[in-house]
Every structure is written in C-alpha cells, then in structure tokens.
Amino acid sequence: MLELLGAGEVRSLASELDLRPTKKLGQNFVIDPNTIRKIVAAANLEASDKVVEIGPGLGSLTLGLLEKVDQLVAIEFDEKLANRLVDTLKQKAPDKSCRIIHADAMTVTKLDMQPDALVANLPYNISVPVILHFLENFPSISKVLVLVQAEVAARLVAGPGSKTYGSPSAKLAWYGKATAAGVVSRSIFWPVPNVDSALVYFEKRSIPLPTHLRAEVFRVIDGAFAQRRKTLRQALAAWAGSPDLAEKILVKAGVSPQARGEDLGIDEFIEVAKLK
C-alpha cells in the first residue's frame, strides 16, 4: 500500500504552493486516507483498468487510485498544482505509472490511451459538462465515479417524475445508468465546505444508443427543460418550428402535448427527436 496524504501533508503542500483555499466547493482538499480508499473502492476498478482522473489537485485521490490501478492519466488545469503533483508522485509512488497533463479538461479530446474509467472530485459548476464531455469523446469509458456536491448528485441520479430530474439526468441516461454511491462527510475536507458531498457511480449501456441521434435528442432535452413549467407543446415550439408542429410531433411519438419535460424518460425523448 502507498502512503496517502493526510491532513498535515495537505496543509503543508498548500502552504508550500501558497494556496489559500476558500470554502467554495471545488477548493476543498480531501484529507482523510480512509475516505480516499472508500472512494476508490466505490469506483469498482480492476487493476488492468486504464483510468483518467480530472482535477487531481494535490494528489490525494491520485495516490489512492495508484494503489488500485496500473495506468492512470491525471488532468489538472492549474499549472502550479500539476507541476507539484509530479514531485509528489515521485516521492510517494515512484514505481507507479501516472501521466500528468496540464490542461482544461473540457479541451481534452484525445489521450495516448483509451480509458476504461473516469474518476474525479469535481466542482459543482463543471461536474455535468465534464462528465458528458468525456463520455462523448471517449466511448471506451464504461464506468464513472464522481464526488460532487450532494445537490448535483441528486440531479444526476434522478429519474422521470422527480423534482430533481432535469437535463443532466436525461442526458446522462443516454449513455447509461447513474446511481447514488454514498455520502461523504464534510469533515474529511479542508477547509470544511458549506455544502454536503456525495458519490455518484455511472455504468455505461452495454449496447450504446445510435450516435447519429444524440445531438438532436439533446436539443429536445434542452428545449424541454429550458422552462420546466411549460408544457412540451410550448417548450418545444422553437425546436419544432411552432406549437402546432410540436404538438403533431409529440402526438406521433405517443407523448401527450400537455406533458412536461420531467415526465419523459430517455426513450421518449428519442422517439420525439426521430420525428424532426
């Protein structure tokens, strides 16, 4: 087993780099090695899995992942953190293979490996775009584990009819199934955040949906949830060309024009999109 970062080391590294994290989500570092190992266990990884980590920060989760897998790519936006992580891994995991890339994760469309899994501790404001970006650009990814704000986690795992069901849930359902994988105590972060966090595990469909339909389906989803309180007849008017055209498409797809976006599952969104 590797020696993971504890609270003292995290604070020492932050001081060395002159980091002054605030309590905004996304600027909190995990300081408990036991929690790191629980997060890694929840990812259901095999030693042979090729894993991409987004936002490794000081390397707490990175080291935990390297205990489990043989191939890891870590993508870090902050150049100072990326450079320091190189040294941390040399010190704590000299025999492990980890490539560190300094980049905005949303600009990464190619890697020198085909990743099997995505694992990340993500700020709430980029969590959904990052997940969808990597599922779109790396079809080889079959499983995802993310640590996100509890409110975001609820949206990701929500199903039709739920108050938290929305565009993120529907779009994620295009790729597969998201499930709640546990809550994480605020006390394992430094500084302690003002919000709760939770784990979401995602498993990709064994048979992918037709790629050529995705863009249109996502346009329908965006339209349906742009104004949640509107009926689909009104909400999809701009997409279809008019309320009357939207109604014709909805009826033909077997969907009530008086339904709202939150009433539809991914299969129904697909049927609507096919008729444009």
Residue 123's pLDDT band (boundaries 50, 70, 90)? Answer: confident
- Count of domains for the chain: 2
DSSP, res 196 = -
pLDDT value, residue 26: 57
Dig out the tokens for 121 from the structure. 């501790």
pLDDT average, residue stretch 129-153: 97
In this predicted structure, the answer to whether residue 25 has a pLDDT above a threshold of 50 is no
Domain CATH number, residue 142: 3.40.50.150
Residue 2 in domain: no
Q: Are residues 192 and 268 in the same domain?
A: no
DSSP string, 4-55: ---HHHHHHHHHHTT----SSTTS-EE--HHHHHHHHHHTT--TT-EEEEE-
Cα separation of 217 and 231, whole Å?
Answer: 18
Same domain as 238, residue 194 = no
Q: What would the pLDDT profile of 53-81 be if each residue is shown by its tens digit?
A: 999 999 999 999 999 999 999 999 999 99
Does residue 1 lie within any of the structural domains?
no
Determine what percent of the chain is predicted with pLDDT higher than 90.
91
Q: What is the band of 23 on the pLDDT scale with cuts at 50, 70, 90?
A: low
pTM comes to 0.94
Rounded to whole angstroms, the Cα distance separating 171 from 175 reads 7
Q: Across residues 229-247, what is the average pLDDT? A: 98
Provide mean pLDDT across the span 91-111: 97
Rg (CA), the chain: 20
Residue 172 predicted with pLDDT over 60: yes
Q: Quick one: pLDDT at residue 54?
A: 97
How much is the pLDDT for 22? 62
The range of the structural domain enclosing residue 226 comes to 211-274
CA atoms of 114 and 109, how far apart (whole Å): 11
**222 in the same domain as 92:** no
Kindly state the percentage of the chain with pLDDT values over 70: 98
- Taking residues 127-151, report their average pLDDT: 96
Please state, rounded to an integer, the average pLDDT across all residues of the chain.
95
Where does the pLDDT of residue 24 fall: very low under 50, low under 70, confident under 90, or very high at 90 and above? low
DSSP letter, residue 30: E
